[in-house]
Structure 1
Amino acid sequence: MTENVALRARMAERGLTQDELAAQMNAALLEITGRLGDVSARTVRNLVSGATKRPIGRTRVALELVFGCPISDLGFASPAATAPPEESVLRRSFCTATTGVIIGAVSNVSGRRSVGTSDVLRLREGMATLTALDQTRGGHAALERAALAGAAEAVTLQENAASQTVRQRLLSVAAHYTATAAWSCIDARQLDRARLHLSEALRMAGMAQDSTAQLRIWNSTAMLAHQRHEYSEAIAASQAAQASTAARRNPLLSSLAHARTAIGHASRGDRQPALRSLGYAETALAKADSTTPSPAWFSFYGPAELSALTAIVRELLGEPAHAEAASHQALASLPVRLRRNRSMTTVRLAAAQLRQGEVEQACATTGAAFELMVGDPLPGRLRTMLGDFHRTLFTVAPSAQAAREWADQHRTQWSAS
């Protein structure tokens, strides 16, 4: 049995562990079939070790979608001329699913008399799959629909819960699914829908008595308010996150809440409160126990993300040199799998360079953002950032050759995404 060196190399390029590749393959299957995949770390282990030499059906389609290449480029034997029936169905689904429609995260089991912990665990697994899809593609309509479908099932199941504990856990799951739908709308710049989802998510989190879900929702509320230029509300929401039981118990969660508060203060030009909140965020992060497990939705946060948020604060305070340094620090350690986060940090780096008069360097930097998201439409937030960069570029250097070349090279890709 010979190890599949090609597949292992592709995984290393993207910084994927076996568990993470399994999650992304399940996300791909969810997107093209409307049903959650059942790929496990063992499945991936067999693929990497060479125990599976000719993946077929769902496994093959998921691998090709995740890596964007034929199965033969991943070190596997060429497929037979006639594909198995299931594979043909999957391929037809993929070819026609131009918007990535997701029918639902899990199947309905309304006929059951009693709903227990196994249902909670199953729904949580679906939530992890949607998180992987978000980290790969960013917010989009199909992700929103899948999250709302998961929330709807959790709400339906809680009516037949075996105990009050199970009922609260299902309501917690529903709150997190709805928060995911809200986040997808925020990332896609569908702000009115995001506000409606956040209101519903907060209601369910209250019934579930889930302080972690409440912190998550307040964090998203602060982001939404910032996008709507409602900076006082953004500060109030982030301070509500700071005051949550979850933040008081977990320094890592507290750090994010303080960083979000710093952005709110910086948006209003309040330098000292902004830097003070950043200091609180750094102190809390230093106290965090790296061995304490975090929710899947929170896996993006750590020193690298705090550096990225610091870059936002410094940019808002009119300190482009500090913003550039913080962006470089973030990109040095942001995981490869967080394509959207890395792309946005790259554009922020370019904006900081541009504000320091480094026109050619800034234009070259933005090219990496497009490369990171190749194969998928640009999320709304990223597209907005690129639009801001474009306007600033032609304000700072309207006649520069680099500016004209940037527009010629990227305008179509940016505006069409």
Structure 2
Amino acid sequence: MDGRAVNQHLRERMDEFGFQQTELADAVSNHLVAHGHPGTVSDRTIRHWLTGKTRWPHPRQRAALEALFGCTAEELGFVPPAGRDRTTTPESSVLRRTFFTSASGTAAAIAVPRLTDRPTTVGTSDVIELRNGLDALMALDAHRGGHEALESAALTGARRALDMQRHAASARIRQRLFTVAADYTATAAWSAIDARQSDRAQQHLDHALYLAGMAKDPVAEIRVWNSYAMLAHQRKEHTKAVDAAQAAGACPITRRDPFYGSLAHARTAVGHATRGDHQAAIRSLGHAETALGKADLTAPRPSWVTFYGPAELAALTAIVRDRIGHPREAEAASHRALASIPRQFHRNRALATCRLALAQLHQRDAEQACATASSVFDQMSGYPIPGRMRSLLGDFYRDLLTLAPDTSATREWGDRYRHEWSRA
């Protein structure tokens, strides 16, 4: 099919960036989701673009392609219908592409605004372009998880936001640039957390919290506290995890938007469950469900928080229930999560599948648990496995050896586990 591509410009850009059809479909869908739109682009959509069956994609799809490739739709080989003006503005005039190679040898791209060729005075349009670069990073995170190249690109974006402050047109623009810098730095921290690089994550979070304070932005602040809670949990500092989650819940934005309050309560529930405080964990889960029920899920919010909603709450519920000794309820919650997490969110679906396997194992159904855990490798085929997922699979294997050490299913899964790790 690739050899018969009519749109050679798009084909060449895909080759340059290392995108296969399925990967480009995922990246465009993730960008759409990050901007509050349905992520409905499929492999078939890409095929239609390449063969020329679709010569002028939908405006939102064109905007996503322009952000990902750093050029106009026309430069990608698309042709607008005669007499029709283009309805998207190319985001690429001040974008620089940073290339890197993943563990599987696939090149991907991150676009963040550059310092050269920008006006002497920085205004709203420059802030918007910085945010577009941030959204592209979040789409990449959803596509393949945290890794050093994403972390590095995020830090570059933060430095540029701070450098641009020297040319800000007003105090308001300076404050907005602090927010953008905080978000870029928090993105770097999140990437380090997902890769289980806790020392770097701590450093980034400390700086992000300072920047969020300078910005006087409660949304940026709650993001940082949410990540602090996850980092503390990763370090097994469970009291600190609860404290950080409660600090997130104390941010003013939770009183204005119950959506953020729900996230803070859910993160608090995980902390209580890990500490062994069953009643507090269940109580916090109830608060999270009530708050989410009051939230307007269609309201515009930053791209970093698009991961949260009923599906993610179900996934967090599975963690809480399993840790307080309710594996049957945890299994049910995992199934609810997997029924709702979008297909293109490979990492999140694979993590929920890991949790499902653990819940099945904790019900002593080792054969089914091994089959479920093996499907994680299938889901992540072609994608590097982030450190956080590797750790969770390691937890599954340790529990498997403890609960069912002598079964054939355990031996077969252990062989698969070692084979997959030797290929990574």
Query: Aligned to 1:209, which of 187, 207, 216?
Result: 216
Q: In the aligned structure 1, how far is the partner of 2:219 from the partner of 2:258?
A: 12
Q: Secondary structure at the match of 2:331?
A: helix
1:240 aligns with 2:247: yes
Query: Aligned to 1:360, which of 367, 387, 410?
Result: 367
TM-score under structure 1 normalisation? 0.79
Q: Secondary structure at the match of 2:264?
A: helix
Give the corresponding residue for 2:327: 320
Q: Secondary structure at the match of 1:50?
A: coil
Give the corresponding residue for 2:29: 20
1:197 aligns with 2:204: yes
Q: In the aligned structure 2, how far is the partner of 1:111 from the partner of 1:311?
A: 48
Letter in 2 for 1:52: R
5+ long unaligned stretches in structure 1:
5-10, 25-42, 54-58, 64-89
- Written as runs of structure 1 = structure 2, the 5 A alignment for 1:103-118 is 105-109=112-116, 112-118=119-125
Question: Using a 3 Å threshold, how does the CA distance of structure 1 residues 393 and 207 change in structure 2: closer, same or farther?
Answer: same
Question: Using a 3 Å threshold, how does the CA distance of structure 1 residues 268 and 254 change in structure 2: closer, same or farther?
Answer: same
Q: Secondary structure at the match of 2:296?
A: coil
Q: In the aligned structure 2, how far is the partner of 1:179 from the partner of 1:314?
A: 29
Check the 8 A contact 2:102/2:108 in 1, yes or no: no
1:288 aligns with 2:295: yes
Give the corresponding residue for 1:145: 152
Query: Aligned to 2:399, which of 392, 398, 404?
Result: 392
Q: Secondary structure at the match of 1:105?
A: strand
Give the corresponding residue for 1:335: 342
- Written as runs of structure 1 = structure 2, the 5 A alignment for 1:209-228 is 209-228=216-235
Give the corresponding residue for 1:251: 258
Bigger helix share: 1
Question: Using a 3 Å threshold, how does the CA distance of structure 1 residues 13 and 308 change in structure 2: closer, same or farther?
Answer: farther
Kindly state the Cα deviation for residue 110 of structure 1 after the two structures are TM-superposed: 7.5
Question: Using a 3 Å threshold, how does the CA distance of structure 1 residues 321 and 13 change in structure 2: closer, same or farther?
Answer: farther
Question: Using a 3 Å threshold, how does the CA distance of structure 1 residues 278 and 248 change in structure 2: closer, same or farther?
Answer: same
Q: In the aligned structure 1, how far is the partner of 2:110 from the partner of 2:29?
A: 23
Kindly state the Cα deviation for residue 106 of structure 1 after the two structures are TM-superposed: 2.4
Kindly state the Cα deviation for residue 412 of structure 1 after the two structures are TM-superposed: 2.5
Give the corresponding residue for 2:164: 157
Give the corresponding residue for 1:166: 173
Question: Using a 3 Å threshold, how does the CA distance of structure 1 residues 301 and 343 change in structure 2: closer, same or farther?
Answer: same
Q: In the aligned structure 2, how far is the partner of 1:292 from the partner of 1:320?
A: 34
Q: Secondary structure at the match of 1:166?
A: helix
Kindly state the Cα deviation for residue 21 of structure 1 after the two structures are TM-superposed: 6.2
- Written as runs of structure 1 = structure 2, the 5 A alignment for 1:61-76 is none
Check the 8 A contact 1:185/1:194 in 2, yes or no: yes
Check the 8 A contact 1:102/1:146 in 2, yes or no: no
Question: Greater shift after overlay, 404-413 or 202-211?
Answer: 404-413
Kindly state the Cα deviation for residue 103 of structure 1 after the two structures are TM-superposed: 7.7
Letter in 2 for 1:378: I
Give the corresponding residue for 1:302: 309
Give the corresponding residue for 1:71: none
- Written as runs of structure 1 = structure 2, the 5 A alignment for 1:113-132 is 113-132=120-139
Give the corresponding residue for 1:47: 49
Check the 8 A contact 2:102/2:384 in 1, yes or no: no
Letter in 1 for 2:322: E
TM-score under structure 2 normalisation? 0.77
Letter in 1 for 2:312: E
